[in-house]
Structure 1
């Protein structure tokens, strides 16, 4: 199953009653870490692409941007500049970068999460609110200073809103990234080998992308940990999920 956490739990319960295997690929709130040695221009372009793909409605979209304090303002401003170059409009036009959300219900749900997160102390930097007029459009935007226990910290934002957090070290970034019930994908932008090794070894996610966005590729196993599900799709691992291997002993 590919779907929501709620749907995955229901399917797993039904499968458990009849002792059937399942593969669950569920929600995500992927962390996107940016460190001082990163190429900020590249990280901004990839970050916007990673957040806004499919109008932000992707389980592996980057949602939580965790940025080192030394380059926080520079990266945030580069991200916003790139974001403002994106065209919002009719998804059938080649010139459109960001289309509407899947439904008015999805738009309203995201708006309520943004509203509550801001009411708890987050700062709305740009956009991040429903767009007037026809269609379930939502202004792409950025929130920062995300309070602990707010929807921005604990829920999945399924739409074009980036959540920014400032940190003092990679250890702090990893701790914040891991402090979530989901563990589908993660990304880090850095040119320090030790930081790459640390992120790869300690980020709790089914995928860690280095200096690129998380993507689903046929040659690599894909899936999550924690409440993002279990099992793997794609590659050899994905094929084995749908087989029962038999041991044969011959004398």
Structure 2
């Protein structure tokens, strides 16, 4: 059984720097961590590996990411926790990608690895909150998608059963494999790396591919392949203070109305 877990490097601080020209996040890697939702995705993959492995089945977990070269450090951390290997898509041509271009690049990476039985992604990234990557990858792979998984019930190599969130609550669903699954952050807690895992991660294979190596069309990658782009980014201005409104209730209401109208809301 082959499982691919898509992970993203996100800033570990609220002090996010923006590129004034491209209006995209500056990712220098110095304070990057694995997206918390993707950490949950990795833990579910490792649990499947443990369960199926105990039953005598060979299960391989590969972590896949697109980012700057420093992202390899995070992939090796995932390997230290139990993944088998990693693939990093790293090329300036990938920079500035929106969700569509990102999903396309990741689907090329998945195709490079072969046909997986299961692709697991975090429900969303904490620096974007779009929750679009998983479903878009499923569309590109022409595979069923089970989104917002709250609890994985079973995955036997032919199908998966899980409780997923919906607008009306939660429901139990079953989907055949191969499939794509996105998971909520509280579905599981990622295990700590072992000493043996850390040592093994240093020598584990992490393949790094550029656009050509991934077999991707440059016109569908990065800013060139992004139909949506950020026009303007800014930090909201914070103001303190207040106004004291006096008078009878009717007078206070009238003054309050004038203040609200003056805000241009």
Q: Shorter-normalised TM-score: what interval?
A: 0.3 to 0.5
More strand by share: 2
Larger radius of gyration: 2
Using the size of structure 1 for normalisation, the TM-score is 0.36
Using the size of structure 2 for normalisation, the TM-score is 0.35
